Structure 1
């Protein structure tokens, strides 16, 4: 069984797709964790990019400038484990998100294809349109289901040596006590506004490019990995400001002044956050961390799609062998 030449949404059983998506999320997250921490730290930083690099701002927090200096600063002040802060909720997030995303993508595609004849459409939806709708629906559904884990990942990655939360269990307890259930969904609005076009564009570009790159033979890569990389970079650039706003809102609340950046402003909603950032930091403020985000997007998408394809083939072969024994 080969994925080459066929769409990923046509392969494997529902259980195999779910398992492959979860496996892809697990591995991809561990690989890109350090870049994810760097991205979050840069997104939460509010000082001007023209400020000289120093170790502390007026509020006692670090000032980062660029991906490599930020990596070095975290290694020097927090050690190697600092680059994997928030990895436990992030691993849970990526596993659950990957499983939900690919399952919802496949299910939405099946619904669209079944609805076409019932709606009187003589021709199926164009590949790009079908993939955009299915990808957007899958991204939205997976985001809502896994959002509390995303918020926890951001808060753990944002804390320095002065730990706000000492464990995942205590973090959940503290947020529930001090902020209520709504505290776990801070920033969900801009999160959905970002993920719907992001995943729509991602899958539309991926499914369009993948057949043309299916026979591409590169070391440690595949057509799916290359298509996933190009799709992710395209989608990420267009929706990045909403991702930054989501991160800023996720660290609002009673612990706002206790993270590694202690001068994060108080925002009132997504629109208010955009206005404050534009007023205080300019347009460039909405793209803080874009470079490392794109650096992260390429390996994350390549690893995710490559792992998904090979995991799906593995689970499918495993299922075939099990059927043969029966």
Structure 2
């Protein structure tokens, strides 16, 4: 296969793998996603709720279906988002590392992950706004599908970039040091090649997501409020949120549910993605430390 054909094949396989991975991860945490939005946006009846009480309130008021309100729109959004994010990451990583993606620098991974995340977000942002409104059950209508895009881009750059950086690094650490989380990859190479087992992928993905999202959570809170109709400018909204609610109950409102959801979300997403890469024949193995 030609070099150009190989890159197109890599992009297509990564697109499908990323879309499937994103749908799997988001489905697992759909109820927690709705609770997170309700807590972030300070909806009146959820102002003093924790994770458990919020889930109970939703079940009492709307039944089980209420936990998944807006999830169909989420699935329509997340397949192209995950596909674009992961495919651009893989293609850029390969391009920027001069066809040696397994040994690229942290900066290369960060740039590829950030550009992939921004591209996926911009392409699917109207659906994210729609989903937020459905989850909030707003009666104001859907005005301004790209409201809140600026803080979203500001948040996704470090979040997506760090997610991929952390995942790749944690994956290498686990492969090198924990034999129970790695298996020999049957590749026709003279060197020893290893890949993570499913538990290893879950651990690496969960840790990577939790670490990355904690860095830029305040911007995620502001993004949600802007999506749901708060016309205040970004800096004024940050200031207003701080003065009215403080740091813990304002900027980091819903952070506990974010940690609870981010671990399984990223664990499942990265695990499914790595599994799909293996099925599609995209290299996921790492050389043994002694051979490096």
TM-score, normalised relative to structure 1: 0.73
Is 1:213–1:224's contact at 8 Å kept on the other side of the alignment? no
CA shift for structure 1 position 228: 1.2
- Relative to structure 1, the CA distance from residue 311 to residue 198 in structure 2 (aligned partners, 3 Å threshold; closer, same or farther) is same
Deviations 1:193-237 (CA, angstroms, capped at 9, x unpaired): 00000111111111111122134439x943222111111111111
> Partners in 1 of 2:59 and 2:158 — Cα distance?
35
Question: Does residue 217 in structure 1 map to residue 181 in structure 2?
Answer: yes
2:56 aligned to which of 69, 72, 97 = 72
**1:60-99 pair list within 5 angstroms:** 61-99=45-83
**1:14-29 pair list within 5 angstroms:** 14-29=11-26
1:288 aligned to which of 242, 253, 261 = 253
2:157 aligned to which of 188, 196, 204 = 196
CA shift for structure 1 position 267: 4.0
Largest Rg, 1 or 2: 1
Question: Does residue 306 in structure 1 map to residue 290 in structure 2?
Answer: no
- Alignment correspondent of 2:290: none
- Alignment correspondent of 2:120: 142
Question: Does residue 38 in structure 1 map to residue 16 in structure 2?
Answer: no
CA shift for structure 1 position 17: 1.2
Runs of 4+ in structure 1 displaced over 6 angstroms? none
- Bigger relative contact order, structure 1 or 2 (CA pairs below 8 A, ≥6 apart): 1
Aligned residues: 256
Kindly report the root-mean-square deviation, in angstroms, between the aligned alpha carbons of the 2 structures. 2.5
TM-score, normalised relative to structure 2: 0.81
- Alignment correspondent of 1:119: none
> Partners in 1 of 2:42 and 2:162 — Cα distance?
28
Deviations 1:59-91 (CA, angstroms, capped at 9, x unpaired): xx4544210000001001111110001101111
> Partners in 2 of 1:63 and 1:213 — Cα distance?
41
CA shift for structure 1 position 126: 5.5
Deviations 1:255-293 (CA, angstroms, capped at 9, x unpaired): xxxxxxxxxxx4422111101101111122100000100
**1:43-58 pair list within 5 angstroms:** 43-45=40-42
308-317 vs 133-142, which moves further: 308-317
**Can you give the 5+ residue segments of structure 1 that lack an aligned partner in the other structure?**
1-9, 47-56, 117-123, 166-173, 253-265, 318-326
- Alignment correspondent of 2:236: 272
> Partners in 1 of 2:207 and 2:99 — Cα distance?
30
